[in-house]
Amino acid sequence: MNFHYVWPMGAATPVIANRHPRAGEQPEYGVTFQRSGYCLVAFQPKPDGHGKALLIVGTDLSSLDAGGRFMTEPDWLRTL
């Protein structure tokens, strides 16, 4: 995956790292508490090759909650 959840050593907060930013994209997306945060949602094959896994991670609890709601609320799923 191009986007990864990373908590750098010594950093106060995690980031969503963008390994290969395209034009207009940032190399990292971090959290500014009570202002903005980011969530990563991925549907990936399991490492053993049997089945798939839904991964939801966020830079803070509000972002994680938003990702969970995005994947479980019918109105959001229709837009996906």
Give percent of the chain with pLDDT exceeding 70. Answer: 100
Q: How many CB atoms lie within 10 A of CB 34?
A: 8
pTM over 0.85: no
Average pLDDT over every residue of 58-63:
94
* Statement: residue 80 has pLDDT above 80: no
Single out the residue of 57, 69, 62, 11 nearest to residue 33, CA to CA.
62
Task: Say what the pLDDT of residue 34 is.
Answer: 84
- The backbone torsions φ and ψ at residue 5, rounded to the nearest 5 degrees and listed phi first, read -80, 125
End-to-end CA distance of the chain: 19
Task: Say what the pLDDT of residue 52 is.
Answer: 96
Rounded-to-integer distance, Cα 27 and Cα 9, Å: 17
